Structure 1
Amino acid sequence: MSENNNFQYTEDNIRTLDWQEHVRQRPGMYIGKLGDGSSADDGIYILLKEIIDNSIDEFVMKSGKRIEIKIDEGKAVIRDFGRGIPLGKVVDAVSKMNTGGKYDSKAFKKSVGLNGVGSKAVNALSDFFKVKSVREGRMKVAEFSKGVVTHDHDEAETSDRNGTEITFIPDHEIFPHFKFRKEYIERMLRNYVYLNPGLKIIFNGETFFSENGLKDLLQEELEGDILYPIIHIKGEDIEIAVTHSDKSQSETYFSFVNGQNTTQGGTHLNAFKEAYVKTIREYLNKTYEASDIRKSIIAAVSIKVIEPVFESQTKTKLGSNDMEPGKESIRTFMSNFLKKELDNYLHKNPETAEAVHKKILVSERERKELSGIQKLARERAKKVSLHNKKLRDCRQHYNDQKAERKSESQIFITEGDSASGSITKSRDVDTQAVFSLRGKPLNSYGLTKRVVYENEEFNLLQAALNIEDSLEDLRYNQVIIATDADVDGMHIRLLMITFFLQFFPDLIRNGHLYILSTPLFRVRNKKETRYCYSDAERIKALNELGKNPEITRFKGLGEISPDEFKHFIGKDIRLEPVVIGKDQTIEQLLEFYMGKNTPDRQVFILENLVVEDPEIDKKEKLEEVVA
């Protein structure tokens, strides 16, 4: 170092952060991406999950069969009826790192929250955090704000039942525009009860309960009819449910480790796919293609592992390969289990085995019929990929394990060159790609997969997303439809949703499809500019910005300058997830949106269509959409 350098590196430069400061400075290390609640893996759901996991572990340890959850706006309350945190350790348990019962394998075996960080992270990332523990007629209550104790109440007598109650409000500094979405929470809770038969979860008055575990999960998730009764096999530390759908063309999997929904799969799911194919081949004594054996499969796989190694703190992908030191690998464990239990089941149920065999033969025939078209389509896609004008790619991709920002990867599907031009100029080239549509895409309602290969635009989009065979190599975490908020834009939006529902429903089921919200108005005076996403926001801005502010109505994405557009696709991006509700099937959704016109759909369009001028009669616009 130069002697003239004024900076001196001394002991004063070494600083030890308090535990809550560390969590707040590096929240991503503890809860993954922050988000606003529009994605199922956003931080606010991880906070909720970390608390519920502790209550689930109580149930697993045979303490407490009921969990009550109340969420009102941004406030969450979780109450279990387990053993309760030991009263002398209540404050430490939620505010001291490396403190918790999970380190004692006698108290917790094969637990979800192994590292004891969860409740502390929730505490540090909450504006308000309250813990209440009840044990044998005594209770202890403590309150915190951003990890710092605000009220440490003395122990007191109570008539409440044993257990723990946690209340928290996520910190608005870290989650400025967050919103808890009911659909994501309900899916999380359904998974909890499927994996813990006998557990009752009550969420805002609605009860979630399962008697038959993963068999119930498949029955809930099935589209249309199944080709044979669900195969449901269980062993120590493993449970599997599997069947084939007569509607879906893709493979659908639900995988879990120690009760954690591993949405990105991992070692255990790969081991299941491999072992399933091997077992079926050996049973039929035929070397059928793996893709033919697994086509249209719908399966749920759950295993329990001592000290699993996940690829991130949010535990969405299993990385470890060993069941336990000195014991067999997950791959061997899965192979041995299916070789015995699935093979036994097929021998005892020959009609099911015959249905499986027939499905494989149908899949094989369909694959061969499509192979010529697929080959031509792939060659065409390969030729244009080098100079594909439709795709402006980014540098980091979701399927690249080495990419540091892979979870941030996005692709915007836009209409026309003007919209794609604005996004292209203002995007983050590391994580945001753009795919430009040429006018309105084909209506794929009721068509077969053949059209995906024969329609150049669909084929190029399929190739860009890399989802021809499965979602395993999906290149972008968020697939975002970005259209104008007018009649044509809504129509294009519906056509694209139809395309994904028809051919790639798992993209929606797994929470990858979104609609981009862009401002309809800009309201500004000399001091301040407000972007308004609704008429209500416009009126509010007019009232707050004083006399005669300038109002601009954005009629299309192309009218928004790149300098402005970067605000709408950056850290403040507003996305609406496309979600399949628990009471809707894909068939019903397709029929509603793209089938024969119905009064219900006309009402939906009237309620959701944004017109350029408040004076225009929406019914006139509706005639254009219906036409």
Structure 2
Amino acid sequence: PVITLAMGVVWATELLLLLTLSSALRTIAVCVPCTRVQPHGIHTTQSAVPARHPSLCRVRLAGSCARSCGMRMQLDEESGSSSVQAPVQEGYDAEQITVLEGLEPVRKRPGMYIGSTGSRGLHHLVYEVVDNSVDEALAGHASEIRISLHADGSVSVSDDGRGIPCDVHAKTGRPALETVLTVLHAGGKFGDSGYSVSSGLHGVGVSVVNALSERLTVEVMRHGQRHSMSFARGKVTSEMTTSPLEDEPDSPASARSGTAVHFTPDGAIFKSGVVFEAERLSQRFDEHAYLNAGLRLVLVDETLPGEPREQVYEHRGGIAEYVNHLCEGKKPLFDDDGGTFTSASSLKGVYVDIAMRWNAEVYSDNLLGFANGVHTPNGGTHIDGLKGAITRVVNSVARHTGKLREKAASLPGEFVREGLCAVIAVRLPEAEFEGQTKNRLGSPEVRAIVSELLSHYLTDFLTRRPKVLSAIVDKAQAAAKAAEAAKAARELVRRKSVLGSSVLPGKLADCSSSDPALSEIFIVEGDSAGGSAKQGRARETQAILPLRGKILNVEKAHDASMYQNAEVQALITCLGLGIKGDDFKPSQLRYHRIILMTDADVDGAHIRTLLLTFLYRYKRKVVEEGYVYIAYPPLYKVRHRSRTSYCYSDAQLDERLGQLSGKPAIQRFKGLGEMMPAELWSTTMNPKSRILKKVTVDDAAQADRMFSILMGSNIAPRKQFITDHAGSLDWERLDL
């Protein structure tokens, strides 16, 4: 009994790890083969299906996970939208030229301003309003922002800043409040008399929120007066009214100021539904609190049953606290200042704030960049300046102090940065971003400024702390030796990749199609499941790769061990992943759908977690760009008279049994090997009827942190995490 209980705790722990990783990785329901995401419920469509696919595609479940694993199913609005081209006009003259005035362009082409009309664009409305309040905080005029998600689908955002000006605007002849809300690119972030820096990414501001809202009301407290105004779909519905503020015991009217915006998104624009996710907003607000030490953000969720839930985001430790948060579960390389050190300085009008920490037993770096409060996931000139300065200074000081011999080769940057976690936040006027998504800072002057400021600080810091320098250099040299040890195995993988299918592992049952866009591979556990999958598959487009047991946990392994592991080698070669660290090239992938198909028990969940860890750590872009999917086989087979149905969750089983009379026969599938090939095909592999969940990264920093906590070698944070979340498990329905 003791052994059984201990094994049960282990299995429960593994399931909990998967649940948490699943929440860190965003998942969406996808209809394959057309890869079109379907709306909630059963849906059939013809218009969006390519000609080479069947005329109907079905996804039987969306909105919530079909299984009891806890993973949430989201709709990917960007790939789910469809359009039909209008017939080409025979005549083309002045009558075909359309002039859009005011906010009409926004309602005509909303995707140009907020990215999409799905969930991402919907949440962008909140970001735009909150970013205006954050700009007030950046300018030193606001200390608290309050965001409320109301049960009717509306949102309120209020701050204690200066309040939007309400006097008459010289150019428009209308109140400045109305101008800000009805004129594109109107606001304090344009020109040099408002904000010196702004977090506004697209510069579209609250006017776009107004245009895409069914209703919007704004209230401004300023100079002892209250100003109010209402709008509908960008049009004024009530002119600005002004009334005096009344004194309060602890707050005289003249001392109170701020802006409050209450808006309801237009359901005619956001056709996939107006449903805000508190968790998605939470990540953004937490980031703001870290980047603006002392700023307090309060999120109130009134959409759930019961009392409203309130979450406060306030981090007085700033980005140093952020780095420690990201490094939770990791052991610092040295103990000075808790392992984390910071630099804050400015040059030529550019303010640079950096926090850094090297970690032991971590074999990659994690660098996060922000420009004017905006996360730049693709890096940019601020990250380039950071990397260059660290590599140059560590080598220079190491030579000067004798830690590195004068004639010895310089330590490459990738080895110097091994184990480094750093956050850099720059603030500058007129920041330039690259690409339409603006995920990379392009301002050329920032590279030199960051490099100069960090070089001065780091040179002084490392010169005064030789033990810190020694720890960094020793780790870099160990990384170089490990890389040399892994070279032979890495070259073997490289040769296999070049030679192609002639050296593919014998256990791989490849598909006959040579087009990666049409091909998919199912990664299954064991020969039993592999046998059923091989017999039931569509041989033209579906490949099967069986694994023997649990693969190596790469979170705890160095590259040398990883390349020498047979199962990992098979994955790298079969998938066409190339070499770790090399640029990701989609053209090298052998399959554009990598489907993890494991058993519906905790062992299967653990294998799935190990595979996700490997893919995320080895070639993160494969996950980020949407090539990884999770297959969901049914949990139950229900036979009633002459009919057979399948249930994908306990709730679905309860619902099905409630619809049937008598005593139907129920079979609980413990593993894929128990299913006949035809059953496995019809329920889990058939593109017309299966359920797939596409795995994407919603928050890279949070995903990185959770992989480290749950799969790393440091036990204490994982133990604490399990203790904190054990109460969320449904022990009665847990498979042990």
Say yes or no: TM over 0.5: yes
2:209 to 114, 122, 137: 122
Q: 1:505 to 1:373 in 2, by over 3 A?
A: closer
2:194 to 95, 101, 107: 107
Given that 1:31 and 1:313 are in contact with CA atoms closer than 8 Å, whether structure 2 keeps it comes out as no
Deviates further, 208-217 or 341-350: 208-217
Aligned pairs (5 A) from 1:171-570: 171-172=266-267, 173-174=269-270, 176-177=272-273, 179-204=275-300, 205-222=310-327, 223-228=329-334, 229-236=339-346, 237-285=351-399, 287-312=410-435, 314-321=437-444, 329-384=445-500, 415=524, 437-439=545-547, 442-445=550-553, 448-455=558-565, 458-459=568-569, 461-462=571-572, 464=575, 468-470=579-581, 473=584, 475=586, 482-483=595-596, 487=600, 491-501=603-613, 504=616, 507=620, 516=630, 556=680, 558-559=682-683, 564=688
Given that 1:260 and 1:315 are in contact with CA atoms closer than 8 Å, whether structure 2 keeps it comes out as no
Q: Shift of residue 239 of structure 1? A: 1.3
1:563-584: CA deviations, max 9, x gaps? 6359x77xxx776878758996
Q: 1:390 to 1:345 in 2, by over 3 A?
A: farther
Q: 1:100 to 1:541 in 2, by over 3 A?
A: farther
- The CA distance in 1 between the partners of 2:681 and 2:549, in whole Å, is 18
1:134 maps to 2:221? yes
- The CA distance in 2 between the partners of 1:393 and 1:235, in whole Å, is 55
Q: 1:246 to 1:588 in 2, by over 3 A?
A: same
- The CA distance in 1 between the partners of 2:199 and 2:357, in whole Å, is 28
- The CA distance in 2 between the partners of 1:185 and 1:500, in whole Å, is 25
- The CA distance in 1 between the partners of 2:560 and 2:427, in whole Å, is 41
Q: RCO greater where, 1 or 2, for CA within 8 Å and sep 6 or more?
A: 2
Q: 1:606 to 1:500 in 2, by over 3 A?
A: same
Deviates further, 302-311 or 125-134: 125-134
User: What is residue 586 of structure 1 aligned with on the other side?
Assistant: 708
CA RMSD of aligned residues (A): 4.8
Given that 1:197 and 1:210 are in contact with CA atoms closer than 8 Å, whether structure 2 keeps it comes out as yes
Given that 1:422 and 1:560 are in contact with CA atoms closer than 8 Å, whether structure 2 keeps it comes out as no
Q: Shift of residue 58 of structure 1? A: 0.5
Q: Shift of residue 216 of structure 1? A: 0.9
User: What is residue 44 of structure 1 aligned with on the other side?
Assistant: 122
- The CA distance in 2 between the partners of 1:102 and 1:586, in whole Å, is 39
Deviates further, 70-79 or 330-339: 70-79
User: What is residue 99 of structure 2 aligned with on the other side?
Assistant: 16
- The CA distance in 2 between the partners of 1:212 and 1:601, in whole Å, is 24
- The CA distance in 2 between the partners of 1:384 and 1:307, in whole Å, is 49
User: What is residue 13 of structure 2 aligned with on the other side?
Assistant: none
1:84 maps to 2:163? yes
Q: Shift of residue 502 of structure 1? A: 6.3
Report the structure number with the largest CA radius of gyration.
2
Given that 2:323 and 2:355 are in contact with CA atoms closer than 8 Å, whether structure 1 keeps it comes out as yes
Given that 2:597 and 2:631 are in contact with CA atoms closer than 8 Å, whether structure 1 keeps it comes out as no
Q: Shift of residue 63 of structure 1? A: 0.9
Q: Shift of residue 92 of structure 1? A: 2.3
Structure 2 counterpart SS, 1:194: helix
**Amino acid aligned to 2:148:** K
User: What is residue 27 of structure 1 aligned with on the other side?
Assistant: 110
1:7 to 90, 106, 124: 90
Given that 2:395 and 2:410 are in contact with CA atoms closer than 8 Å, whether structure 1 keeps it comes out as yes
Q: 1:519 to 1:442 in 2, by over 3 A?
A: closer
Q: Shift of residue 558 of structure 1? A: 4.7
Given that 1:498 and 1:590 are in contact with CA atoms closer than 8 Å, whether structure 2 keeps it comes out as no
- The CA distance in 1 between the partners of 2:390 and 2:610, in whole Å, is 32
Q: Shift of residue 260 of structure 1? A: 0.8
Q: 1:469 to 1:251 in 2, by over 3 A?
A: farther
Given that 2:623 and 2:697 are in contact with CA atoms closer than 8 Å, whether structure 1 keeps it comes out as no
Q: Shift of residue 556 of structure 1? A: 4.7
Deviates further, 295-304 or 267-276: 267-276
The normalised TM-score by structure 1 is 0.73
Given that 1:268 and 1:330 are in contact with CA atoms closer than 8 Å, whether structure 2 keeps it comes out as yes
**Amino acid aligned to 1:189:** F
User: What is residue 525 of structure 1 aligned with on the other side?
Assistant: none
Q: 1:250 to 1:114 in 2, by over 3 A?
A: closer
User: What is residue 166 of structure 1 aligned with on the other side?
Assistant: 261
**Amino acid aligned to 1:379:** R
- The CA distance in 1 between the partners of 2:733 and 2:313, in whole Å, is 41
Structure 2 counterpart SS, 1:101: coil
Structure 1 counterpart SS, 2:429: coil
- The CA distance in 2 between the partners of 1:93 and 1:357, in whole Å, is 54
Q: For structure 2, which runs of at least 5 residues remain unmatched after alignment?
A: 1-87, 167-174, 247-252, 301-309, 400-408, 525-529, 638-645, 660-668, 670-677
Structure 2 counterpart SS, 1:279: helix
**Amino acid aligned to 2:495:** E
Q: Shift of residue 80 of structure 1? A: 0.8
Given that 1:485 and 1:556 are in contact with CA atoms closer than 8 Å, whether structure 2 keeps it comes out as no
Q: 1:127 to 1:119 in 2, by over 3 A?
A: same
- The CA distance in 2 between the partners of 1:99 and 1:420, in whole Å, is 60
2:145 to 67, 72, 76: 67
Given that 1:515 and 1:578 are in contact with CA atoms closer than 8 Å, whether structure 2 keeps it comes out as no
Q: Shift of residue 114 of structure 1? A: 6.6
- The CA distance in 1 between the partners of 2:728 and 2:239, in whole Å, is 53
- The CA distance in 2 between the partners of 1:196 and 1:494, in whole Å, is 38
Q: 1:70 to 1:472 in 2, by over 3 A?
A: farther
Q: 1:277 to 1:561 in 2, by over 3 A?
A: closer
Q: Shift of residue 377 of structure 1? A: 1.8
**Amino acid aligned to 2:609:** I
- The CA distance in 2 between the partners of 1:126 and 1:421, in whole Å, is 48
Given that 2:393 and 2:455 are in contact with CA atoms closer than 8 Å, whether structure 1 keeps it comes out as yes
Q: For structure 1, which runs of at least 5 residues remain unmatched after alignment?
A: 37-41, 322-328, 397-408, 426-433, 523-530, 545-552, 609-616
Structure 2 counterpart SS, 1:274: helix
Deviates further, 237-246 or 151-160: 151-160
Given that 2:462 and 2:469 are in contact with CA atoms closer than 8 Å, whether structure 1 keeps it comes out as yes
Given that 1:483 and 1:492 are in contact with CA atoms closer than 8 Å, whether structure 2 keeps it comes out as no
Q: Shift of residue 283 of structure 1? A: 1.6
- The CA distance in 2 between the partners of 1:421 and 1:17, in whole Å, is 53
- The CA distance in 2 between the partners of 1:347 and 1:414, in whole Å, is 51
- The CA distance in 2 between the partners of 1:11 and 1:339, in whole Å, is 60
Aligned residues: 555
The normalised TM-score by structure 2 is 0.63
Q: 1:180 to 1:451 in 2, by over 3 A?
A: farther
Q: Shift of residue 559 of structure 1? A: 3.4
- The CA distance in 1 between the partners of 2:622 and 2:359, in whole Å, is 16
